[in-house]
């Protein structure tokens, strides 16, 4: 694609690669202004469901106009392919920003940046859009660390029912690391699922890493953690984090959506100290340590995946399960 021209845009560089296609930097030939172009993968152009999902991404973005959300310029279906033309955002995806630029972000700075993220999502939710794929790689941070824009409405859903339900496959695409318990279970999602993923994202901003590690745990193990256990304590990963931040994250990432902040505005008010955090449920207060007990292997052997193979990661290790202290 490099060097190619799509209508008035000349492609100058590749900036991203995802499940559905690639993202390029381009220059408008007359206006001399940059743009980012997301191109549907040529192999997928003939797949009607994927075309529909791609168009849905553009239609969702077309609904949204906010300083913290990337703007859509245009959507094109041409003989060259399907393209989503958007504002080019200078900066780093938040995961790379943390890894390469900032390291764990000090609380005061994290608070200022995260407030902007919450404002963007509060607006999207008010427009009836649930993002469903909030994670650091879908947030771009300016090089000075002050500005942020939300990207990638690829599996977002308009709650008003005006778009067809393209869910299931869409909602299980990509990593599970930032997904809410109801999302990994394939349940109904509303804005409170986004609030959970925002809590995990804030965790990563403050500690420099995700609470789970796909390099050492299988997807099944992460899934199990998400559904059954509170997130690891922030201080396990970064000792300097305050208990106030811990309380905010506990609230945002409560297993039960009812126990989370009901809206991003509520999350923001608590973050800024404008509202007291309600008393935590006992389940969130203390489960610092777990009693590890040997687990009796179930008859019929270890869990198996759909193909019948033993689940990776359960092989030679002793098979434990953990009971929280208070049980």
Ligand X SMILES: Nc1ncnc2c1ncn2[C@@H]1O[C@H](COP(=O)(O)OP(=O)(O)O)[C@@H](O)[C@H]1O
The reply to whether 213 belongs to the active site is: no
Determine the 3-state secondary structure of 125 from DSSP.
Answer: helix
Residue 82 pairs in a beta bridge with 77
Alpha carbon dihedral 310, 313, 316, 317, in 10-degree steps, equals -130
Of 90 and 236, nearer to ligand X (C-beta) is 90
Q: Considering the rule CB under 6 A, would residue 64 count as an interface residue with ligand X?
A: no
Q: Considering the rule CB under 6 A, would residue 93 count as an interface residue with ligand X?
A: yes
- For residue 20, the partner it binds in ligand X, Mg ion, none, with Cβ less than 5 to 8 A by kind, is ligand X
| x-marked contacts with ligand X along 228-267 as a string, rule CB under 6 A | ----------------------------------------
Which residues, 6 or more positions from 114, have their beta carbon under 8 angstroms from its beta carbon?
198, 202, 205, 271
Q: Considering the rule CB under 6 A, would residue 138 count as an interface residue with ligand X?
A: yes
Q: Considering the rule CB under 6 A, would residue 50 count as an interface residue with ligand X?
A: no
Residue nearest to ligand X (CB): 18
| x-marked contacts with Mg ion along 136-175 as a string, rule CB under 5 A | --x-------------x-----------------------
- For residue 36, the partner it binds in ligand X, Mg ion, none, with Cβ less than 5 to 8 A by kind, is ligand X
* Cβ count near 43 (within 10 Å): 9
Q: Considering the rule CB under 5 A, would residue 201 count as an interface residue with Mg ion?
A: no
Could you give phi then psi for residue 72, rounded to 5 degrees? -90, 135
Determine the 3-state secondary structure of 237 from DSSP.
Answer: helix
Q: Considering the rule CB under 6 A, would residue 87 count as an interface residue with ligand X?
A: yes
- For the chain, report the end-to-end CA distance as a whole number of angstroms: 59
The tokens of 92 are what? Answer: 């780093």
CB 145 within 8 A of CB 102: yes
CB 104 within 8 A of CB 238: yes
Residues that bind ligand X (CB under 6 A): 15-16, 18, 20, 23, 36, 38, 70, 86-89, 93, 137-138, 140, 151-152, 154
């Amino acid at each position: 694609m490099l060097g190619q021209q799509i209508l008035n845009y000349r492609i100058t560089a590749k900036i991203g690669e995802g499940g559905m296609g690639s993202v390029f930097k381009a220059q408008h030939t007359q206006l001399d202004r940059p743009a980012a172009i997301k191109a549907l993968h040529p192999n997928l152009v003939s797949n009607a469901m994927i075309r529909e999902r791609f168009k849905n991404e553009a239609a969702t973005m077309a609904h949204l106009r906010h300083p913290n959300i990337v703007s859509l310029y245009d959507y094109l279906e041409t003989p060259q392919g399907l393209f989503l033309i958007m504002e080019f955002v200078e900066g780093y995806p938040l995961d790379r920003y943390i890894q390469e630029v900032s390291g764990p972000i000090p609380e005061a700075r994290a608070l200022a940046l995260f407030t902007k993220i919450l404002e963007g999502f509060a607006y999207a939710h008010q427009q009836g859009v649930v993002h469903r794929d909030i994670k650091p790689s879908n947030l771009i941070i300016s090089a000075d660390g002050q500005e942020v824009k939300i990207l990638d409405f690829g599996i977002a859903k308009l709650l008003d029912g005006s778009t067809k339900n393209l869910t299931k496959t869409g909602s299980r695409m990509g990593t599970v690391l930032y997904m809410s318990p109801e999302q990994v279970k394939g349940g109904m999602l509303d804005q409170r699922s986004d609030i959970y993923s925002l809590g995990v994202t804030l965790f990563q901003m403050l500690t420099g890493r995700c609470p789970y590690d796909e390099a050492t745990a299988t997807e099944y193990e992460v899934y199990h953690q998400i559904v059954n256990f509170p997130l690891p304590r922030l201080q396990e990963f970064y000792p300097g984090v305050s208990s106030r931040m811990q309380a905010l994250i506990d609230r945002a990432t409560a297993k039960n959506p009812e126990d989370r902040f009901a809206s991003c505005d509520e999350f923001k008010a608590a973050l800024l100290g404008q509202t007291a955090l309600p008393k935590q449920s006992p389940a969130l207060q203390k489960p610092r340590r777990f009693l590890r007990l040997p687990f009796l292997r179930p008859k019929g052997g270890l869990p198996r995946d759909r193909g019948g193979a033993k689940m990776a990661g359960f092989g030679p290790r002793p098979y434990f399960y953990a009971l929280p202290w208070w049980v």
